[in-house]
C-alpha cells in the first residue's frame, strides 16, 4: 500500500536541504539558490532534455554522473546559464565552491539552473552565499529548497510517498519547478527526487528512464521544450532493504512508488501552467498500442484550441477530434467517443465520431470546475494513457510578453 504525503526531498532518510537568496534574482524576497545534500556519496541517475540547445549545467552534470554516484544537487533560479560562452566553466566553478564549503568532491555535484536564457551569469553571488547555504542544511530545509528553484511558479511543488519494499518502509520525496516552456521529451522542467531505498546506479537509471514515459513526458503547457529540463534522483540506501534488483517484484514496487510521487508532481506542474485556471487531464483508452495512446492523450492536452475552449468552459468536442486526427495515431474517427467529466458530473458529447444531443447547461457546469477530465475511447485496441495540461488564458501572453525584461 502506497501512502502519499505533502513532504519533499528530506522525507527519505539520509538527506538535508536548504535554500537562500544569493542575489542571482533581483527580487530579494525570493530564494534563488537551493541545495540538497546526501549524508554520503550515493547512487544517482538522471534524464535530460532532448532539445539540441542544452544548458551548460546539463552538460556538466552528465560528466559528474558518469560513474553513477553523487552527493549533492545544487540549483539556482533566475538565470538558465544557457547559451553563455563560459557556461560550463561557471557550472564547474559553482560545484567547486560547494565542494570547498562542504568538504565534498566537486565531481559529486549535480548542478542545475533555471531562468532566462542567454543572460550572463556571475559566479560572485554563488561564492558569497555558499557558506550560508551549507550552514542552513537541515531536515526542515526541504521547503526552502523547493521555493528556491521556482521561477514563474505560483505554488511550491513537493510530494512524497512510502511503501513496504523487501520488508522495510521505503520513502521517496521530490520537489519540482515548472510553469511555462513545458513540453518535455525526457522528464520535465526541473525535478529533484530522493529515496532511501537501497538500489544500484544501473537499476535506479532503469527505473528513472522507465518512469518518465508515463509521467513527466505526458505533461504539456505550451508546446515548448526547455533547454534545461532535468529529472535527477539520489538514493541513500538508509531504508535498510536488501538492494533492489532489476526484473524483480521489489523493482516493480519501487517503480510504482516512484510513479506515485511523479504523477502527483505532474499534476501540480500542469495545474500551475503560466496563467492557468484549470488542470486538464486527458484519459485515452482503446488505442492499438501504448505509444499511440500516449500520442493521442498528449495531442489533446497540447492543442491550443482545446485549451482555449476549456478556459471558456465551451464543450467544443470537435477540437478534441481534430487534435486526435493530427496526432499520428491512425485514428478511425468513426470509432471515437468523447466525454467530459469533473466534480460537477460527466457528460458524453460524441459517440462513434459523431455529435450527440447534450445539455449545454450541464456541459458548462462540468467544464467550469478547476479540474477537468477529457475522456477519449479510440475503439481500436486495449491500450490506454493519461496526459496532463492546462487551459490557455489571457495571462499566459501577459506573463511571457515581458518575461526577460
Tally of helices (H runs) and strands (E runs) in the chain: 11, 15
Rounded distance, CA 94 to CA 75, Å?
10
**C-alpha cell at position 350:** 460524441
- Within 8 A by CB and 6+ apart from 301, the residues are 220, 270, 280, 281, 282, 307, 374, 387, 388, 389
Among residues 220, 224, 186, the alpha carbon closest in space to that of 298 is found at: 220
Catalytic residue among 16, 49, 151, 188: 188
In DSSP terms, which residues pair with 339 in a beta bridge? 348, 375
**C-alpha cell at position 387:** 496526459
In DSSP terms, which residues pair with 15 in a beta bridge? 38
**C-alpha cell at position 57:** 549545467
In DSSP terms, which residues pair with 233 in a beta bridge? 45, 193
Determine the Cα angle at 89 with ends 83 and 93, to 5°.
130
Please check whether residue 108 is in contact with residue 92, taking contact to mean a CB–CB distance below 8 angstroms.
Answer: no
Q: Active-site residue 264, yes or no?
A: no
* 383-380-343-366 Cα dihedral, nearest 10 degrees: 150
Please check whether residue 329 is in contact with residue 335, taking contact to mean a CB–CB distance below 8 angstroms.
Answer: no
Query: Could you give the residue numbers annotated as active site?
Result: 188
Amino acid at each position: 500500500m502506497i501512502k502519499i504525503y505533502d513532504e519533499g526531498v528530506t522525507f527519505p532518510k539520509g538527506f538535508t536541504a536548504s535554500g537562500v537568496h544569493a542575489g542571482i534574482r533581483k527580487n530579494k524576497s525570493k530564494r534563488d539558490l537551493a541545495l540538497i545534500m546526501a549524508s554520503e556519496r550515493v547512487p544517482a541517475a538522471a534524464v535530460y532534455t532532448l532539445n539540441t540547445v542544452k544548458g551548460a549545467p546539463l552538460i556538466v552534470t552528465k560528466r559528474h554522473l558518469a560513474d553513477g554516484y553523487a552527493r549533492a544537487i545544487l540549483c539556482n533560479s533566475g538565470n538558465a546559464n544557457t547559451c553563455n560562452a563560459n557556461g560550463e566553466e561557471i557550472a564547474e566553478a559553482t560545484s567547486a565552491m560547494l565542494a570547498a564549503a562542504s568538504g565534498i568532491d566537486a565531481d559529486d555535484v549535480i548542478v542545475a539552473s533555471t531562468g532566462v536564457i542567454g543572460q550572463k551569469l556571475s559566479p560572485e553571488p554563488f561564492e558569497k552565499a555558499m557558506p550560508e547555504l551549507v550552514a542552513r542544511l537541515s531536515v526542515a530545509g526541504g521547503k526552502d529548497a523547493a521555493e528556491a528553484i521556482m521561477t514563474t511558479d505560483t505554488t511550491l511543488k513537493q510530494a512524497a510517498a512510502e511503501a513496504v519494499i523487501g520488508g522495510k518502509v521505503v520513502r521517496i520525496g521530490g520537489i519540482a519547478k515548472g510553469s511555462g516552456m513545458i513540453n518535455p521529451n525526457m522528464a520535465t522542467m526541473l525535478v529533484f527526487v530522493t529515496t532511501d531505498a537501497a538500489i544500484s546506479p544501473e537499476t535506479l537509471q532503469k527505473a528513472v528512464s522507465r518512469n518518465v514515459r508515463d509521467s513527466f513526458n505526458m505533461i504539456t503547457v505550451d508546446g515548448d521544450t526547455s533547454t534545461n529540463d532535468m529529472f535527477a534522483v539520489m538514493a541513500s540506501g538508509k531504508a535498510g532493504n536488501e538492494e533492489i534488483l532489476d526484473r524483480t517484484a521489489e523493482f516493480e514496487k519501487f517503480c510504482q512508488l516512484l510513479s506515485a510521487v511523479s504523477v502527483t508532481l505532474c499534476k501540480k506542474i500542469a495545474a500551475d501552467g503560466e496563467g492557468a485556471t484549470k488542470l486538464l487531464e486527458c484519459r485515452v483508452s482503446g488505442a492499438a498500442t501504448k505509444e499511440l495512446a500516449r500520442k493521442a492523450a498528449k495531442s489533446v492536452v497540447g492543442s491550443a484550441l482545446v485549451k482555449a475552449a476549456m478556459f471558456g468552459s465551451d464543450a467544443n468536442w470537435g477540437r478534441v477530434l481534430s487534435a486526435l486526427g493530427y496526432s499520428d495515431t491512425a485514428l478511425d474517427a468513426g470509432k471515437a467517443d468523447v466525454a467530459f467529466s469533473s466534480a460537477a458530473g460527466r457528460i458524453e458529447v460524441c459517440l462513434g465520431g459523431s455529435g450527440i444531443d447534450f445539455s449545454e447547461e450541464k456541459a458548462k457546469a462540468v467544464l467550469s470546475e478547476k479540474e477537468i477530465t477529457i475522456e477519449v475511447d479510440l475503439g481500436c485496441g486495449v491500450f490506454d494513457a493519461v496526459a496532463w495540461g492546462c487551459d490557455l488564458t489571457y495571462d499566459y501572453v501577459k506573463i511571457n510578453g515581458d518575461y526577460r525584461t
